[in-house]
């Protein structure tokens, strides 16, 4: 499963600084076979206190967190949809990611040029969003043109498709993204293969200066970003990319001391990782054996055999049943044995929908 979040934003807003922090703090991609090895891809492990607790309980030889990837998508400038800058190449990179983290400059620095001459988060967001909307509009219009003959000959499916495309096209005309359009499940299915850029879930990353981190909530630029995001039903994560790149160089106690000095509970990167994981619609289940305690990523509403397939396809093919105990039940019990004695370990079949925090053991036969 390749879950990836693309980092986008105008030039000089702090994307590379943030991406460097990600790769510095990042995980060995070798541990995660699904991750791409590419200089523009940074693998991050998902911080999860539950995994630490399970490690204390089971004392395994190894603990492995779950991971996903960020992709650095540099090169978006005004006019990209018309081929300016890296233009279409840039847009095709966004097409491949599952969600978007949009970095917005909320720091002042006279020495760092702003492409538009001044710091103006809403205008920056709108420039990028407009490029994405124009690219989507182009894709939708080309599809509408191709449908023409089939619609005229009265084909019912073509008519349904045209209705969906028209709704999207009207939204684009009003500078609204595809994700704001209400589509039926059927319509959503029909337009899925267009991989519309503005259909992808998005979160905004407000990049503030180091000094501005303490009272970021009162930074008017941050407030503007938050209001914009709220109106779209999107989340905002406030970070200082510069500070994150410093934190990423530290480990253990040094890192904790630095965070304490800054008055932070956890790094902004950890908050961003968690926000992005949620944005992708992902949940975690665990396996907990003496060899290895490990977190695994699945989409919400995944049934047990498909959840098992992220460990190995044989687990899905030969799935018999799963032994399941909820994380809290296991922690309260103190051990798998006690949880079993208390009747908290359930046997579940093929139709079981795995929940976030389930501790699973699969029985299979191939």
CB of 94 to ligand ATP, least distance (A): 14
CB of 10 to ligand ATP, least distance (A): 7
Phi, psi of 339 (to 5 degrees): -60, -40
CB of 113 to ligand ATP, least distance (A): 9
The contact mask relative to ligand ATP for 187-226 (x = CB under 6 A, - = no) is --------------------xxx-----------------
> CA of 131: how far to CAs of 94, 99, 198, 365, in Å?
12, 16, 10, 51
Is 15 annotated in a binding site? The answer is: yes
For residue 113, state whether it binds ligand ATP (rule: CB under 6 A): no
d(CA 333, CA 327): 10
| Closest to 31 measured CA to CA, from 15, 52, 46, 50 | 46
| Closest to 36 measured CA to CA, from 8, 72, 64 | 72
Tokens (6 digits) for 64: 């492995």
Is 287 annotated in a binding site? The answer is: no
For residue 109, state whether it binds ligand ATP (rule: CB under 6 A): yes
For residue 93, state whether it binds ligand ATP (rule: CB under 6 A): no
Which region, judged by CB under 6 A, interacts with ligand ATP, from 7-15, 91-99, 168-176, 193-201? 7-15
CB of 3 to ligand ATP, least distance (A): 23
Strand, helix or coil at 202?
Answer: strand
| Closest to 54 measured CA to CA, from 363, 358, 362, 315 | 358
For residue 242, state whether it binds ligand ATP (rule: CB under 6 A): yes
d(CA 54, CA 338): 15
Q: Considering only residues 5, 8, 9, 93, which one is a binding residue for ligand ATP as defined by CB under 6 A?
A: 9
8 Å CB contact between 2 and 32: no
Residue closer to ligand ATP by CB (options 85, 326) is 85
Q: Considering only residues 22, 67, 216, 241, which one is a binding residue for ligand ATP as defined by CB under 6 A?
A: 241
Is 293 annotated in a binding site? The answer is: no
Strand, helix or coil at 58?
Answer: helix
| Closest to 63 measured CA to CA, from 43, 47, 76 | 47
> CA of 35: how far to CAs of 3, 67, 311, in Å?
9, 9, 14
For residue 42, state whether it binds ligand ATP (rule: CB under 6 A): no
Measured torsion, CA atoms of residues 13, 17, 23, 25, in degrees rounded to the nearest 10: -120
Is 14 annotated in a binding site? The answer is: yes
Which region, judged by CB under 6 A, interacts with ligand ATP, from 94-102, 134-142, 182-190, 235-243? 235-243
Q: Considering only residues 3, 4, 8, 15, which one is a binding residue for ligand ATP as defined by CB under 6 A?
A: 15
Residues lying near ligand ATP in the complex (CB under 6 A) are found at: 9, 11-17, 74, 107, 109, 112, 207-209, 240-242
């Amino acid at each position: 499963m390749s879950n990836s979040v693309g980092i986008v934003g105008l030039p000089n807003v702090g994307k590379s600084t943030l991406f460097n922090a990600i790769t510095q703090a990042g995980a060995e991609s070798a541990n995660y076979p699904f991750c791409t090895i590419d200089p523009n891809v940074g693998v991050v492990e998902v911080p999860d206190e539950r995994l630490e607790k399970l490690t204390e309980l089971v004392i395994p030889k190894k603990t492995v967190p779950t991971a996903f990837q960020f992709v650095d998508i540099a090169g978006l400038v005004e006019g990209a949809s018309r081929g300016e800058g890296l233009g279409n190449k840039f847009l095709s990179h966004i097409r491949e990611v599952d969600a978007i983290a949009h970095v917005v400059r909320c720091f002042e620095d006279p020495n760092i040029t702003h492409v538009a001459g001044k710091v103006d988060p809403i205008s920056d967001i709108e420039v990028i969003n407009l490029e994405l909307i124009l690219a989507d509009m182009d894709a939708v219009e080309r599809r509408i043109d191709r449908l023409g003959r089939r619609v005229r000959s009265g084909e019912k499916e073509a008519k349904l498709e045209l209705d969906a495309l028209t709704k999207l096209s009207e939204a684009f005309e009003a500078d609204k993204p595809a994700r704001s359009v209400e589509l039926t499940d059927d319509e959503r299915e029909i337009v899925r293969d267009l991989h519309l850029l503005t259909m992808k879930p998005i979160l905004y990353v407000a990049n503030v200066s180091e000094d501005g981190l303490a009272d970021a909530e009162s930074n008017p630029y941050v407030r503007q970003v938050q209001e914009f995001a709220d109106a779209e039903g999107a989340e905002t994560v406030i970070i200082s990319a510069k500070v994150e790149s410093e934190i990423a160089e530290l480990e253990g106690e040094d890192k904790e001391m630095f965070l304490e000095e800054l008055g932070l509970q956890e790094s902004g990167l950890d908050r961003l990782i968690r926000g992005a994981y949620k944005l992708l619609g992902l949940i975690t289940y665990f396996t907990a054996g003496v060899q290895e305690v490990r977190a695994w990523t699945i989409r919400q509403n995944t049934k047990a055999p498909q959840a098992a397939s992220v460990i190995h396809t044989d687990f899905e093919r030969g799935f018999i049943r799963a032994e399941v105990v909820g994380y809290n039940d296991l922690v309260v019990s103190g051990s798998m044995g006690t949880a079993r004695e208390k009747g908290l370990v359930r046997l579940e079949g093929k139709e079981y929908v795995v929940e976030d925090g389930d501790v699973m053991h699969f029985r299979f036969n191939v």
